[in-house]
Amino acid sequence: MDDFDARAINTIRGLAMDAPHAARSGHQGTAMSLAPLAHVLFSRIMRYDAARPDWVDRDRFVLSCGHASILQYALLHLTGFGVTLEDLKNFRQLGSATPGHPEVGHTVGIEVTTGPLGQGVANMVGMAIAEAQLRTRYGSDIVDHHVFGLCGDGDLAEGVSHEAASLAGHLGLGKIVLCYDDNRITIDGDTDLALSDDAAGRFRSYGWHVDEVGAIGEDCDALEASVRRAMAVTDKPSLIVLQTVIGFPATEHAGTPQAHGYAIVDEEIAATKRRMGMSDATFQVDHDVLEAYNAIGRRGQNERQASESRIAGFDGDRASLLAQLGNIGLPGWDEELPTFDVGDSVATRKASNAVLQTLVEIVPGLTGGGADLTGNTGTVIKDHGVFSAADPGGRQIYFGVREHAMGAVANGMALHGGAIPVVGTFLVFADYMRGAVRLAALSGAKTIFVWSHDSIGVGEDGPTHQPVEQLASLRAIPGLRVIRPADANETVAAWKIAMELDGPTALILSRQDLPVLNGTAGGDVASGAYVLREVADAAITLVGTGSEVSLCIDAADVLECEGIAARVVSFPSWELFDRADRSYQTSVLVPEIRALAVEAGIAQGWHRWVDDVVSIDRFGVSAPGDTVMRELGFNVDNVVARAKTLLGG
Q: Return d(Cα 522, Cα 202) in angstroms, integer.
A: 54
Burial class (CB in 10 A: 0-12, 13-18, 19+), 211: buried
Q: Return d(Cα 151, Cα 241) in angstroms, integer.
A: 10
CA-closest candidate to residue 138, choices 378, 299, 316: 316
Q: Which amino acid is at 410?
A: A
CA-closest candidate to residue 153, choices 196, 109, 107, 101: 196
Using DSSP's 3-state secondary structure scheme, residue 50 falls into coil
Is there a contact between 411 and 443 (Cβ–Cβ < 8 Å)?
yes
Sign of CA dihedral 359, 361, 367, 368: positive
Q: Return d(Cα 490, Cα 422) in angstroms, integer.
A: 18
Sort strands 420-426 and 366-370 into parallel, antiparallel or unpaired. Answer: parallel
DSSP conformation class of 600: S
Name the strands in the sheet holding 566-570, side by side, starting at the edge strand that comes first in the sequence.
530-533, 566-570, 540-544, 594-598, 612-614
Which DSSP string do the residues of 324-337 spell out, in sequence order? HHTT-PPTTGGGG-
Annotated catalytic residues are: 403
Contacts with 196 (C-beta within 8 Å, 6 or more apart), sequence order: none
CB neighbourhood size of 228 (10 A): 12
DSSP conformation class of 185: B
End-to-end CA distance of the chain: 86
Q: Output b/e per residue, 378-387; b: 16+ Cβ within 10 A.
A: bbebeeebeb
Q: Return d(Cα 405, Cα 161) in angstroms, integer.
A: 7
CA-closest candidate to residue 530, choices 489, 573, 491: 573
Contacts with 205 (C-beta within 8 Å, 6 or more apart), sequence order: none
Is there a contact between 49 and 119 (Cβ–Cβ < 8 Å)?
no
Sign of CA dihedral 123, 129, 130, 132: positive
Is there a contact between 314 and 39 (Cβ–Cβ < 8 Å)?
no
